[in-house]
Amino acid sequence: MLRIGLTGGIGSGKSTVAKLLVERGAVLIDADRIAREVVAPGTPGLAAVVDAFGDGVLTADGALDRPALAALVFADPQARARLDALVHPLVRARSAELLAEVPDGAVVVNDVPLLVETGQAASYDLVLVVEADTETRVARLVGRGLTEDDARARIGAQATDEQRRAVADVVLDNTGTPEELAAQVDRFWVERVEPARG
């Protein structure tokens, strides 16, 4: 098995690269998706979060109210640490379960937005970083429905390009067209993935 850790700032094009890698045969493990699944309605994860933070973090229909929870932990590092201590083990356990189901010899891509921030680079055979300059990312995020202020705040709260580059084995430049990105993914596959699979 070859494990690729895929990361990049919000709006850089991680999901797009993940999709291209899946088209070439990789198996995707999506950290954001797992983080949502472990606190979905009816899960022990959601019950634990409500236990710790109260009914105020639920929407009227009993789902996790993410903006309410985010507001709670934003200004309170201890609350953030308590939340992480609840959710991270569940995410790790679910990721391990999914990994155990992957066939021998597979190329596994973990899409991990906060790979650098959470110090996980050493967990992967290859760390693949997607980059695009801030203005391009803001424009793409606004295209995806965020306000410009929100887009800039989220970008500002993440690691810098320099921090991500410091742990990258390969950097893809996604300031160009989708076709240019696909060509770089093809090159990555031929030059780094296929040789590493043996």
Q: Which residues of this chain interact with ligand ADP, rule CB under 6 A?
A: 8, 10-16, 140, 143-144, 174, 177-178, 181
> Using CA atoms, how far apart are residues 2 and 197, in angstroms rounded to an integer?
7
- How near is the Cβ of 156 to ligand ADP at its closest, in Å? 15
The nearer residue to ligand ADP, 15 or 43, going by C-beta atoms, is 15
Residue 179: exposure state from Cβ atoms within 10 A (0-12, 13-18, ≥19): exposed
The nearer residue to ligand ADP, 5 or 13, going by C-beta atoms, is 13
- How near is the Cβ of 77 to ligand ADP at its closest, in Å? 25
- Residue by residue, DSSP assigns 136-150 as HHHHHHHHTT--HHH
According to DSSP, residue 57 is labeled G
The nearer residue to ligand ADP, 186 or 194, going by C-beta atoms, is 186
Give Cβ neighbours of residue 72 (< 8 Å, ≥ 6 apart): 53, 56, 57, 79
The nearer residue to ligand ADP, 140 or 164, going by C-beta atoms, is 140
- How near is the Cβ of 1 to ligand ADP at its closest, in Å? 24
The widest CA-to-CA distance across the chain, in whole angstroms, is 53
Number of Cβ within a 10 Å radius of residue 39: 24
- How near is the Cβ of 56 to ligand ADP at its closest, in Å? 28
The nearer residue to ligand ADP, 53 or 188, going by C-beta atoms, is 188
- How near is the Cβ of 11 to ligand ADP at its closest, in Å? 5
- How near is the Cβ of 167 to ligand ADP at its closest, in Å? 17
Do residues 52 and 83 lie in contact, with contact meaning Cβ atoms separated by under 8 Å?
Answer: yes
The nearer residue to ligand ADP, 149 or 179, going by C-beta atoms, is 179
Number of Cα atoms under 13 Å in the Cβ half of residue 72 = 20
> Using CA atoms, how far apart are residues 12 and 21, in angstroms rounded to an integer?
16
Do residues 111 and 15 lie in contact, with contact meaning Cβ atoms separated by under 8 Å?
Answer: yes
